[in-house]
Amino acid sequence: MPATLPTPEHPPAELRLARVLLVLTLTAGGLLRVWLALMDDGLYWPDEIYQSLEPAHRLVFGPGFIPWEFIEGARTWALPGLVAGLMGLARVLGLDSPAGYLGVVKGFFALLGTATAWGSYRLARVEGAGPLAAAAGASLMALASVPLYFAPRAMSENAAAFPVVLGLALALAPGASRRALAVGASLLGLAVLLRLQSGIFCVGLVVLLAARRQWRAAGLTLGVLAVWAGLFGLLDRLTWGSWFHSAFVYLDFNFVKEGGKAWGVAPFSYYTRVLLKAMPGISLLVGGLGLLALWRSRGLAALVLVFFVLHASQPHKELRFLVPLLPLLAALAGVGLELGMARLKALRLRAAVALAVVAVGAVSAGLSRRLTFGEIGQYVHERPHISAYDDSGPINRLLMVASQREDVCGLKIEVPVHIAWTGGYSYFHHNVPLYWSASPDRPSGLFNYVITLPQWGVGGEVVARDKDFLLMRLPLQVCVPDRGFSWRLP
């Protein structure tokens, strides 16, 4: 009998309650994600702009800075291609301003994060959790502060998380059909195109199927994954000129040259410590329930552990790297909760325990807006007490205002922030030079608009203000052409 159907141990009344609980928590999580997508214009890390939005903007609209990864070919074009498709759809719908196409892209990722929480429910059911326990476990993914924070950001980790959890749910289901295995393996193959590290889950799935002595299933999965590996290589061949170019460059940079160390190193304990700071209640609860689930879900637990240890062993660490693991942890929590409730026969007692778990998630959601950079393990030495939300948001919103000014012939961000920590042309949207603080000054005549601070706000007309920042128009009618302007991200 499929694991998703009601059994004598889980009567219809419990199934109805589980459905209500699942719908409510997914709806709440989805609304919070969409709200963040519309309200937060800040950055966690430049990759959410320059590995996805900016190259996609170049494809669809023309202008855009080019980071070194898209000069040397250290990334596939799968993620920018996905984002470009969303921007192209927005353009067709008449949403061709930054507010329009960015809203579509961030809204898509917000809803994808909600679907990922639903994937946690599916995976928990496959691993033996009842409907109520699985719904409560999924609520931790839907409402936890860390998944909420990352959800609207156009990052490869977010894009890969949904195909990873759903692919495992399909492929690991008891008695999975050949079609389910093929679709599940294909989803994992897609996840690798979006984020190379997802290959850990692909290898893990084949090993788990082989460990179960499901040789035909393992062979079919291996064959499907081989096809997706070929598609990966073909995409690189068409875009970078050689097979698996991005994989070789990426692995050489990160593992041979250890280039990631340039952005900081952290000890093995980093992820455990940061998760406990960012969402202590959920981390402790998931850790305890995950231990209960070890015996029932040995294979999934082993896969989670391998992914975690491999990432914790790397010198450079960022909390976002664990985003694809979070829905799997929520699924394990659902399995552990089922085992913990096994002796509770009365529905009211089982419901009370499940609601208590959901309450922990709700508290985390309520506290999510208080997250600081120190709590999510970012900029811990520079500005740990600063809010993790809307960082550079005022600058980005002023870039959007500037995008509506038809007389712009050049713009400089005079604020002492590197251009990589702003929204670039994805927010500016004009095919004219965009400078940062290390560029030529006003007398150069290269730009007629500036984003500046009030103490520097002289010699021009204030067009807009956002918090402590001003958008000003300078008394310059025509800009001096900059023949040497470089599109390469500094």
Each residue's pLDDT tens digit, 186-237:
999 999 999 999 999 999 999 999 999 999 999 999 999 999 999 999 999 9
- Same domain, residue pair 326 and 453: no
- Same domain, residue pair 211 and 264: yes
Give 296's contacts (C-beta < 8 A, 6+ positions apart): 127, 128, 335, 338, 339
- Same domain, residue pair 325 and 456: no
Whole domain around residue 244: which residue ranges?
12-39+73-370
- Same domain, residue pair 126 and 253: yes
Reading the block at residue 395, the tokens are 């600058």
What's the Cα-to-Cα distance from 109 to each of 33, 79, 151, 269, rounded to whole Å? 9, 12, 6, 29
pLDDT band for 2, please (50, 70, 90 cuts).
very low
Q: How far apart are CA 257 and CA 245, in angstroms?
A: 16
Neighbours of 345 (CB within 10 A): 9
**Contact (CB, 8 A) for 80 and 55:** yes
- Same domain, residue pair 366 and 399: no
- Same domain, residue pair 364 and 407: no
pLDDT value of residue 4? 42
pLDDT value of residue 9? 60
Q: Which of 186, 161, 170 is nearest to 122 (CA)?
A: 170
- Same domain, residue pair 436 and 299: no
Q: Is 210 inside any structural domain?
A: yes
Check whether 3 has a pLDDT greater than 70. no
Q: Is 48 inside any structural domain?
A: no
Residue 325's SS3 state is helix
Sheet of 434-435, strands arranged across? 434-435, 411-413, 449-452, 469-473, 461-466
Per-residue model confidence as pLDDT tens digits over 37-55: 999 999 999 999 999 999 9
DSSP class of 475: S
Q: Is 63 inside any structural domain?
A: no
pLDDT band for 147, please (50, 70, 90 cuts).
very high
List % helix, strand, coil for the chain (3-state, nearest 5). Answer: 65, 5, 30
Q: How far apart are CA 16 and CA 28, in angstroms?
A: 18
Reading the block at residue 232, the tokens are 């990966």
- Same domain, residue pair 256 and 320: yes
pLDDT value of residue 345? 86
Query: What backbone torsions phi and psi does residue 185 show, to the nearest 5 degrees?
Result: -65, -35
% of the chain with per-residue pLDDT over 70 = 98
When divided into structural domains, the chain yields a total of: 2
- Same domain, residue pair 363 and 405: no
- As a whole number, the mean pLDDT across the chain is 95
Q: Is 437 inside any structural domain?
A: yes
Domain boundary residue, one of 321, 355, 370:
370
Q: Which of 463, 392, 445 is nearest to 422 (CA)?
A: 392
Per-residue model confidence as pLDDT tens digits over 459-477: 899 999 999 999 999 999 8
Domain boundary residue, one of 370, 401, 434:
370
Q: Is 257 inside any structural domain?
A: yes
pLDDT band for 457, please (50, 70, 90 cuts).
confident
Neighbours of 392 (CB within 10 A): 22
pLDDT value of residue 7? 44
Q: Which of 110, 129, 81, 480 is nearest to 338 (CA)?
A: 129
pLDDT band for 180, please (50, 70, 90 cuts).
very high
Find tokens 């897609």 and name the residue. 190
Phi-psi region of 167 (alpha: psi -120 to 50; beta: other; left: phi over 0): alpha
- Same domain, residue pair 246 and 141: yes
- Same domain, residue pair 354 and 402: no
Q: Is 117 inside any structural domain?
A: yes
Neighbours of 382 (CB within 10 A): 9
- Strand pairing partners for 466? 469
Q: Which of 372, 396, 399, 366 is nearest to 384 (CA)?
A: 372
Residue 86's SS3 state is helix
Query: What backbone torsions phi and psi does residue 62 show, to the nearest 5 degrees?
Result: 115, -75
Per-residue model confidence as pLDDT tens digits over 97-129: 999 999 999 999 999 999 999 999 999 999 999
Q: Is 237 inside any structural domain?
A: yes
Query: What backbone torsions phi and psi does residue 241 show, to the nearest 5 degrees?
Result: 100, -10
Instruction: State the pTM of this model.
Output: 0.94
Q: Is 409 inside any structural domain?
A: yes
- Same domain, residue pair 330 and 439: no
